[in-house]
Structure 1
Amino acid sequence: MNIFKNISTYKSTKKSFVTIGTFDGVHLGHQKVIKDLVESAKKNNAKSVLLTFFPHPRMVLQKKTNIKLINTIDERIKLLENIGLDTLIIHEFSDEFANLTALEFVKTILVDKLNIAKLVIGYDHHFGKNREGNFDTLQQYGTEFNFELKEISQQDISNITVSSTKIRTAIELGEITKVNSYLGYNFMLTGTVVKGKNLGEKIGFPTANIHIQETYKLIPKTGAYIVKAIIANKTVFGMMNIGYRPTVSGKNQTIEINFFDFKTNLYNKIIQVEVLQFLRDEIKFNSIDDLKDQLKKDQQKSLEIIRGTFFESN
């Protein structure tokens, strides 16, 4: 997959089959649309092109928005790469770009830059300044500029019963099993291992403390989770706590992972953890000993689940 960070650096001489959107989560619904696009492009000897935007349009158009995203942009790239697209274009969404009229967008972007032969869009797609463009507008432009238009019907999207909004809500509620079923893969957190207070090590549960640089990344609700990561080509399971460490009067949210049977120094390394299952809410214990006893129970429960049939193939 060829990746372009700005549409101005891309120009195609080969006809393109295009889809457009933010695709946050790259969930099962997104995957269906993109896979159909890829297959259709191959059959017609055209390029499959996905045009996405960063930052999220709502971050630009709604200055006070507090929207958090399922994926960081790097996670989104990795997920899209696995689907088989020919070209991914990540264009900066800015006020200037938002002010393009529907005609300017079609002529300068779709026709002149992407050399479009077919456009695949969702049933409620709007584009251009003040969202003036819609399916009817695109049909007119399709006739004028000689490109085919395919709309993913409301029924098709409803049948998938997945949306980025629904997934974000489930993440916020800690409903990770549901989240992963909607995504078609395990929800992930990617960050750098940083120094912590070393409390975990002192009580027999050393942790890797993860710092996630992207402040727009959606973090699941506070609590304990079962996780796994691939480190040095080895799959390692563990348990993760997201929270404020109330037992020791913590003030800032931390993400701490205790990997099982793993002792390699990870400081300053970037790791990606897959979140597999919610274990329990974060609790304030009466003492460090009570916390240690609970961590032993969490570990035992996690190992029982990991050994179960649900994770046997992982």
Structure 2
Amino acid sequence: MKTYHHLSEFERLNNAVVTIGTFDGVHYGHQKIIKRLCELAKTTGGESVILTFFPHPRLIIDPENKDLKMINTIDEKADILARLGVDHLIITPFTRDFSNLSPAEYIKNILVDTIGVKQLIVGYDHRFGKDRKGGMPELKEMAKNYNYKIEMIPEQDINDVAVSSTKVRNALLNGEVALAAQYLGYNFSLHGRVIKGDKIGRTIGFPTANIFIGETYKLIPSDGIYAVTVDMSGQTFKGMAYIGQRPTINGMTRNIEVNIFDFNQEIYGQDITMTFLEFLRHDVKFTGLEALKLQLQQDKEDTLAYFNKM
């Protein structure tokens, strides 16, 4: 897959099969669109193109909203799209000027003149242009002038629940990582760098790697204990992750830590990926470190029992 970080880097194609969207999470519904995109490109002799935006449009249109977090970092999204077989990924900056394009300008200047669209695939609720005034009627009307075809992908359901990025975010914020995985079609993960902590875990027999997530816009699941796998340096380990403020020791900041099973190496400065498989329990305050130690022993047993059932 070829990746472009601005529309100006892209050379217009003769037969572009295009879809557009933020695709946060690249969830089950998104994957249906992308699968169809790649199929159509193959059968028509075209090339598949995804136009996406970074930062997320809502972060530009509503900059005061600090609550919106992304399921994927931009690099995670690109990796997933590459694995799905997309030919071209355009990651264009979403700016005020871009948001002020009228629907007609958006179609002509971006889709037709810059990308060379011949086939356009969009989700049932696709909106575009200034104030999101553009939709399927505008796309169909302009198709008469610019000779491109349109295909709409209907809403996708899992267990009779419509899939959306919002539903994925809500599941993760509630700690429901297994439900989020059903929506996504893969397990949610966090990628970060191991930094030094205060080493309290070592004193009770549960040393943890403290993880720093560099992308501040990345969504962090609900506080609690999770069964996870940990990938680093080409190896995969089992473990249990903790997210929370460590109330037992009156912690003041939210920490992300992981106890890696059967592992005792120093890994400060290394990048690791934690993949979340199962929520085990909520974060609670214990009477002291001894009570916390007893609970962590139970947490480890519960985590191992989960892995044994897989």
Asked if Structure 1 and Structure 2 have the same fold, meaning a TM-score greater than 0.5 normalized by the shorter chain, the answer is yes
Structure-2 residue corresponding to 1:23: 23
Alignment-mate amino acid for residue 75 of structure 1: E
**One-letter amino acid of the counterpart of residue 200, structure 2:** L
Equivalent residue for 1:117? Answer: 118
Aligned pair in 2 of structure 1 residues 265, 280: CA closer, same or farther (>3 Å)?
A: same
- C-alpha RMSD of matched pairs (Å): 1.3
Q: 1:279 offset after TM fit, Å?
A: 0.6
| CA deviation vs aligned residue, 1:121-170 (integer Å, no higher than 9, x gap) | 1122221112222111111111101100111234x568672111111111
Which residue of the partner structure matches residue 145 of structure 1? 146
Q: Write out per-residue CA displacement over residues 25-71 of structure 1, whole angstroms, 9 at most, x where no aligned residue.
A: 00111011101110110111100000000111111111222211111
- Whole-angstrom distance in 1 between the partners of 2:268 and 2:233: 14
Secondary structure of the residue aligned to 1:112 is: helix
Q: Within 2, Cα distance between the matches of 1:126 and 1:301?
A: 45
Structure-2 separation of matches of 1:281 and 1:13: 52
User: Equivalents in 2 of 1:222, 1:90: separation in Å?
Assistant: 32
User: How far apart are residue 228 of structure 1 and its match?
Assistant: 0.3
What TM-score do you get using the length of structure 1 for normalisation? Answer: 0.95
Q: C-alpha distance in 2, partners of 1:276/1:205?
A: 20
Please, which runs of 5 or more residues in structure 2 have no aligned partner?
none
Q: Given that residues 55 and 93 in structure 2 are in contact (C-alpha distance below 8 angstroms), is that contact kept between their aligned partners in structure 1? A: yes
The equivalent of 1:164 in structure 2 is: 165
Q: Name the amino acid aligned to 1:223.
A: G
**Which residue pairs with 1:7 in the alignment?**
7
Count of aligned positions: 308
Which structure 1 segments of 5+ residues have no match? Answer: none
Partner of 1:270: 271
- 1:216 corresponds to which residue? 217
Aligned partner of 2:88: which letter?
T
1:39 aligns with 2:72: no
- Distance in 1, matches of 2:306 and 2:135, equals 48
Give the distance between the partners of 1:17 and 1:5, measured in 2 at CA: 19
1:93 and 2:115 are equivalent in the alignment? no
1:27-106 to 2 correspondence within 5 Å? 27-65=27-65, 66-106=67-107
Change in Cα spacing, 1:10 to 1:215, as seen in structure 2 (3 Å) is same
My pick for the range that moved more, 224-233 or 33-42, is 224-233
**Secondary structure class of the residue paired with 2:115:** coil
Mapped to 2, the partners of 1:135 and 1:161 lie a distance apart of 20
Secondary structure at 2:191 match in 1: strand
3-state secondary structure, aligned to 1:138? helix
For residues 72-118 of structure 1, give each alpha carbon's deviation from its aligned partner in whole angstroms, at most 9, with x where no partner exists.
11111111111000001111101011011112111111111111101
Task: Give the TM-score of the pair, scaled to structure 2.
Answer: 0.96
One-letter code aligned to 1:39: E
| Aligned mates of 2:100, 2:6 — CA distance in 1 | 17
Q: Per-residue deviation at 1:231?
A: 2.1
Letter of the 1:284 partner, please give it.
K
Letter aligned with residue 52 of structure 1? T
Q: What pairs with 1:216-235 in structure 2 (closer than 5 Å)?
A: 216-235=217-236
CA contact (8 A) 2:232 2:271 kept: no
For 1:160-199, what aligned pairs fall within 5 Å after superposition? Answer: 161-199=162-200
Question: Aligned AA for 1:14?
Answer: N
In structure 2, how many angstroms separate the alpha carbons of the residues matched to 1:255 and 1:235?
Answer: 19
State the alpha-carbon separation in 2 of the partners of residues 262 and 12 from structure 1: 51
Q: Is the 1:29–1:160 Cα contact (8 Å) retained in structure 2?
A: no
Matched AA of 1:109? I
Compare 144-153 and 252-261 and name the one that shifted more: 144-153
Q: Percent identity?
A: 44
Counterpart-to-counterpart distance in 2, 1:15 and 1:85: 14
CA distance in 1, matches of 2:265, 2:33: 41
Question: Aligned equivalents of 2:248 and 2:126: distance in 1?
Answer: 49
CA contact (8 A) 2:195 2:210 kept: yes
Which one is further off, 135-144 or 227-236?
227-236
Does the CA-based 8 Å contact 1:69-1:217 persist in structure 2?
yes
Shift of 1:261: 0.7
1:135 aligns with 2:136: yes
Counterpart-to-counterpart distance in 2, 1:247 and 1:55? 37
